[in-house]
Structure 1
Amino acid sequence: MRPLSSAPIIGAVEAAAWTDAVRIDVRWTLGGPSKEAEYAAGHLPGAVWLDFDRDVCGPPGPGGRHPLPDPEALQAVLRAAGIDDGSPVLVYDDGDGMSAARTWWTLRWAGIEDVRVLLGGFKAWTDAGLPVETQAPASSTLASGESAQRPEGNVTVRPGSLPVLDADGAAAWAAEHDLVDVRAPERYRGEVEPIDPVAGHIPGAVNRFLGEDDLGDVDRIRARYESIAEPAFYCGSGVGAARSALALTAAGRPTPPVYIGSWSEWSSGGREVARGEES
């Protein structure tokens, strides 16, 4: 059964009926330990575990804390997960939508067209009384070395299918359109910076805190961005920005550009920094 709409966010009951989708578990916490043990303790039936930091993102470096993955490495991961060209994909996390949204964005960037995020994540699934399982499917690649006989997929990664900004592109966008910083207001203003080496924001950027975007309330999302004609998003390391891109897409707007390097790249490169409220 196919979902009733083409919206990129899907509820638990409809997701349960979408039986031809490849299910991907990307539960994750920023700076926290792997949640692979939680996957092993219970996951959606047939779901494949992907380590968000290792499998969905590239290694940290000059391009930021969560850069784009190498296309060949990503292709190998997705084939091991059993994804074919044309496969529909359902991704989920714990429920905040952060790692699931970045996975949605990465797969869409890689040319996979039909990708949906489970609204409310694993918690919404279990709250709905839907079944879980503990057995890893054939395509999972657990640290324990578990393997099985499921054939690999044949998906071909085609990078560049969503718009991406680099640092120069973000600066140019801020000068000509609306570059939206979705971090907490105090980080945007430069009052605190718990992670990156410099506090502040990209000159010319405006602030719309992602925590005020309820992924299940598209009317509120439309209203929040009604005055922003051509947004592009950035955050700390390109994860929250992907969540905001998902929110805007779900609200019926074109998927906006994302500055994947975000503040983690900008603040480490000696670039100009602004502080205080929006000008």
Structure 2
Amino acid sequence: MNPLVSAAELAAALTAPNPPRVLDVRWKLGGPPGREEYAKGHVPSAVYVDLDTELAGHGLPTDGRHPLPAIADFQAAARGWGLNDGDAVVAYDDVSGMSAARAWWLLRHAGFENVRVLDGGLTAWLAAGGAVETGRPDVAPGTVHLEFGQLPVLDADAAEAVAAHGVLLDARAGERFRGEVEPVDPRAGHIPGAVSAPTADTIGPDGRLLPQRELAERFAALGIDAGTRAGVYCGSGVTAAHAALAMEAAGLPIPALYPGSFSAWSNDPARPVAVGAD
């Protein structure tokens, strides 16, 4: 399944007999919760999803800033969104899918197949003339059953092995990869052997993902094809999910994701950190 849905496709689906459940995953690192923006206006029928509390767990610094939630907690949250087994789901945000991809990846990892991301997010929806509504819709609790384990996941040792024997993509901005700046984590740089692949480079000027062929060419230039042992990480595991989304949109297998990402790696003094472009 194409992991993306256009604004026009979503508008048509919302008028169908069995419309998808729409998830509003607006979130900004270090900013206020997106719930306030959701209240001002959202895609009709959308339910707000809090990335920090519903799409992430809590742990030690060596677990990273956004470790995976416990499956029981994630299932409870999904039921609160009204999800039932077999539902179709569309997630969106206002940052070109950068946070909505976290919901997409978690649901896929938990065995939910029919989930897509609105290409271009709320900006594309509004540009296409999509309506917005205020207030939270009445949502009957769902009964969905979820279980993690459907997508490949890396711990620190496995990430190190992929960097040595495959292609480990670092989805952060290039200056963070090179160690020139580090606004959040305790050490600057990257996992040794990783390849810089800013996920922002997969997004076109219109806020949508690049066309499939361009995405495939980009990943090929990074050394990835359908048979590559590939992994991806970022600062805390959120942007890495967007890189995974871009790879599937390119027609490639979803890569193994390191949920702890650099926030976990850099908090472990036993883990080496590399700096520079290579």
Of 127, 146, 157, 1:157 maps to 146
1:181-223: CA deviation from partner (whole Å, max 9, x where unpaired): 1211221111211110001111111111111112142221100
3-state SS of paired residue (1:233): strand
1:133-152 correspondence runs (5 A): 133-139=133-139, 150=140, 152=141
Cross-structure match for 1:242:
241
- The reply to whether residue 28 of structure 1 matches residue 49 of structure 2 is no
How much has 1:69 moved relative to structure 2? 0.6
* CA-atom RMSD in angstroms: 1.2
1:1-279 correspondence runs (5 A): 6-19=1-14, 20-59=19-58, 61=60, 62-139=62-139, 150=140, 152-214=141-203, 215-226=209-220, 227-228=223-224, 229-270=228-269, 271-278=271-278
- Contact 1:119–1:216 (8 Å) recurs in 2: no
Provide the rounded CA distance (Å) in 2 between the counterparts of 1:261 and 1:203. Answer: 16
3-state SS of paired residue (1:112): coil
TM-score (structure 2 length as normaliser): 0.91
Q: Which runs of 5+ in 1 are unaligned?
A: 1-5, 140-149
1:215-248: CA deviation from partner (whole Å, max 9, x where unpaired): 1422211001113233210111111111010001
- Contact 1:95–1:124 (8 Å) recurs in 2: no
Provide the rounded CA distance (Å) in 2 between the counterparts of 1:212 and 1:162. Answer: 24
Provide the rounded CA distance (Å) in 1 between the counterparts of 2:28 and 2:213. Answer: 28
How much has 1:110 moved relative to structure 2? 1.1
Provide the rounded CA distance (Å) in 2 between the counterparts of 1:274 and 1:254. Answer: 28
Seen in structure 2, the aligned counterparts of structure 1 residues 17 and 247 have a Cα distance that, compared at 3 Å, is same
Provide the rounded CA distance (Å) in 1 between the counterparts of 2:130 and 2:170. Answer: 37
Q: Which amino acid in structure 2 is aligned with residue 155 of structure 1? A: V
Q: Which amino acid in structure 1 is aligned with residue 2 of structure 2? A: A
Q: Which runs of 5+ in 2 are unaligned?
A: 204-208
Q: Which amino acid in structure 2 is aligned with residue 221 of structure 1? A: L
- Contact 2:162–2:229 (8 Å) recurs in 1: no
How much has 1:60 moved relative to structure 2? 5.3
Q: Which amino acid in structure 1 is aligned with residue 214 of structure 2? A: R
Cross-structure match for 2:206:
none
3-state SS of paired residue (1:117): strand
Q: How many residues were matched structurally? A: 262
Provide the rounded CA distance (Å) in 1 between the counterparts of 2:7 and 2:107. Answer: 21
3-state SS of paired residue (2:63): coil
3-state SS of paired residue (1:232): strand
TM-score (structure 1 length as normaliser): 0.91
Higher mean displacement: 98-107 or 212-221: 212-221
Q: Where in structure 1 do 4 or more consecutive aligned residues deviate above 6 Å?
A: none
